[in-house]
Amino acid sequence: MLLALLPVPFIVPLAVVHPPVTMVMLGRVITHLGSGERPLWPRHTPVARARIAPALRRAVLASEDDRFYLHFGIDTVELRNALERRRRGGRLRGASTLTQQVAKNIFLWNGRSFVRKGLELYLALWLELLLSKERILDLYLNLAEWGPNDFGAEAAARVHFRKSAAALTRDEAARLAAILPSPRRWSPRGGIASQRAAVILGRMAYAAPREEPPAPAKRRSTR
């Protein structure tokens, strides 16, 4: 029972406090110590929700987890879709939700082991239980990696567009969201980001869904 409840005292403070550092950031520090890269410490300036452009919130959802308000930390619909694509011979794409990514960034390490994934799923459930959806999204936007040694929306906006996160345009927000799958290799101004941003902008035209669409009505036989 004690082990099962162990995450609670670490998650409850996140309702009001931004963690100054995460396990992923510490991993980058250790890597830089070994390689001699500078700066050693990541660029990271947490900001309040009001200081992040609403367009970036919508762009990140459109890019990474448009079913964010429909799941409980684990998106079983996307998980089934990913497994079905793999069964048909396609590439097994990740179906991680924003909540899972927050759990990984704060508490865990990068990797693909079953142990790490299991811990990530368990922590995601606790995050959903103890924090609001909007707070989880706040944490994601302030902790996500947006470039080599750049963490959080404020650092991303300053480094890539020389402005604050509050001043980002819709196009700039879409471009930042476009590089999230590979922020250390892609540039918001690059060709890959341009292609992905065009799709994200189309999705941003609609609000993120907050309820499941009604199931299609079954057609009655005329016989």
Nearest to 116 by CA among 23, 217, 8: 23
The percentage of the chain sitting over the pLDDT mark of 70, rounded to a whole number, equals: 91
For residue 134, the model assigns a pLDDT of 97
Nearest to 137 by CA among 195, 63, 212: 63
Cα separation, 90 vs 4, whole angstroms: 36
For residue 165, the model assigns a pLDDT of 97
pLDDT per position as a tens digit, 64-85 = 999 999 999 998 887 787 667 6
Q: What's the pLDDT band for 1 if we cut at 50, 70, 90?
A: confident
Q: Which amino acid is at 195?
A: Q
Q: For the chain, which domains are there?
A: 13-45+53-204 (1.10.3810.10)
For residue 91, the model assigns a pLDDT of 58
